[in-house]
């Protein structure tokens, strides 16, 4: 059983099929792809082996096609609530009343559920010009856009919207950014206007956003005409019921060893949810962890199996 249908879970599904295992794939979202599908389908991802850059939706499309070879059962829009260990299996209860009994469980739930941090002056404008995610760039064509935030999402969206929008202004409350240096440099070199030590303090309009008021730390206010505001202030992650299963955790992540085993028998984890010394949270790392977890789980399921299955090119 694989819990989490993001990139790591999808690759784990394929690899489990490659190992001849039957797979059930569970995710609380209605579509495969996890956080990428929900929030970043148009984002260019530049740290996946074999791709100089690949759009999020294209990466997910390839992973779904690859995973389909496993013939997995998909249980989408289901949340794993409980986990019970038995002598030779693990039972997981879902929120629809279904119980899945598996010889091993692999948790690839990423950051868990995620809720965007709200723009203090923006809640009543959501859907009327204020958005927290940008799954499609086309609706922003020829609009004046204000992006609020200083992290990777804010800079990614500013960079991608700049060629389409009439104007893009990025507003951040500090003069330092959390975003990747390459992206910051690209945005600085573009026509995007960057306002630092500033905050959006007011939004105005009728049925839709027409302008925002930006106030700097020294009290200077400026009215920016705009038809769209993207609030990229990060999100609150929650592992939810997984936290009640008795897994050893550290700072909201599941602790694993070098074989991706958790503190519970027959329960493995891979991807962003895991923690161990030297952990690097990249999609590329998640793929390797998925293969490691599945190969070690295969031996737990069948003690006569080998951890190393041979190379796929030899099949």
Instruction: For residue 35, say whether it is annotated as part of any ligand binding site.
Output: yes
Instruction: For residue 80, say whether it is annotated as part of any ligand binding site.
Output: yes
Pick from 74, 76, 83: nearest CA to 24: 74
148 and 160 Cβ atoms separated by less than 8 Å: no
DSSP result, 286-306 = HHHHHHHHHHHHHHHH-TTS-
Instruction: For residue 66, say whether it is annotated as part of any ligand binding site.
Output: no
Phi, psi dihedrals of residue 216, rounded to the nearest 5°: -85, 170
Q: How far is CA 182 from the centre of its chain?
A: 20
Instruction: For residue 218, say whether it is annotated as part of any ligand binding site.
Output: no
Instruction: For residue 11, say whether it is annotated as part of any ligand binding site.
Output: no
Rg of the chain, C-alpha, whole Å? 22
Q: Count the Cβ atoms, other than its own, within 10 Å of residue 284.
A: 14
Strand 267-269 vs strand 105-107: parallel, antiparallel, or unpaired? parallel
Q: Which two tokens stand for residue 134?
A: 């940008």
Say which residues have a Cβ less than 8 Å from residue 165's Cβ, sequence separation at least 6: 140, 141, 142, 143, 144, 145, 228
Instruction: For residue 272, say whether it is annotated as part of any ligand binding site.
Output: yes
CA distances from 302 to 104, 105, 185, 193, 291 (A): 11, 14, 51, 59, 17
Q: Exposed/middle/buried for 146, CB within 10 Å: 0-12, 13-18, 19+? A: buried
CA distances from 213 to 153, 202, 221 (A): 22, 5, 7
Instruction: For residue 140, say whether it is annotated as part of any ligand binding site.
Output: no
Pick from 313, 285, 240: nearest CA to 94: 240
Instruction: For residue 27, say whether it is annotated as part of any ligand binding site.
Output: yes
Which residues are annotated as part of the binding site for FAD?
8, 27, 35, 40, 80, 114, 272, 313
Which residues are annotated as part of the binding site?
8, 27, 35, 40, 80, 114, 272, 313
């Amino acid at each position: 059983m694989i819990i989490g249908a993001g990139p790591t879970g999808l690759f784990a599904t394929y690899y489990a099929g490659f190992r001849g295992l039957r797979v059930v794939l569970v995710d609380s979202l209605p579509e495969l792809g996890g956080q990428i599908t929900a929030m970043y389908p148009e984002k260019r991802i530049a740290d996946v082996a074999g791709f100089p850059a690949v759009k999020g939706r294209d990466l997910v499309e390839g992973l779904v096609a690859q995973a389909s070879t496993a013939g997995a059962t998909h249980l989408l829009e289901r949340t794993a609530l409980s986990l019970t260990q038995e002598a030779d299996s693990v039972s997981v209860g879902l929120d629809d009343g279904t119980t899945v009994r598996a010889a091993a469980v692999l948790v690839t739930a990423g950051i868990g559920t995620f809720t965007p941090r709200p723009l203090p002056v923006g809640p009543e404008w959501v859907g009327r010009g204020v958005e927290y995610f940008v799954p499609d760039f086309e609706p922003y064509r020829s609009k004046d856009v204000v992006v609020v935030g200083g992290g990777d999402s804010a800079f990614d969206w500013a960079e991608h919207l700049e060629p389409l929008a009439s104007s893009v202004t990025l507003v951040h409350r500090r003069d330092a950014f959390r975003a990747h240096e390459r992206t910051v440099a690209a945005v600085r070199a573009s026509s995007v206007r960057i306002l630092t030590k500033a905050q959006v303090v007011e939004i105005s309009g009728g049925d839709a956003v027409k302008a925002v008021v930006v106030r700097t730390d020294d009290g200077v206010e400026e009215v920016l005409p705009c038809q769209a505001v993207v609030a990229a202030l990060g999100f609150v992650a929650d592992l939810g019921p997984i936290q009640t299963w008795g897994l050893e955790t550290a700072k909201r992540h599941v602790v694993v060893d070098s074989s991706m085993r958790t503190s519970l028998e027959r329960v493995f984890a891979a991807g962003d949810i895991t923690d161990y010394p030297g952990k690097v949270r990249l999609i590329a790392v998640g793929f390797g962890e998925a293969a490691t977890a599945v190969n070690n789980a295969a031996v737990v399921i069948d003690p006569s199996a080998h951890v190393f299955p041979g190379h796929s090119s030899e099949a």
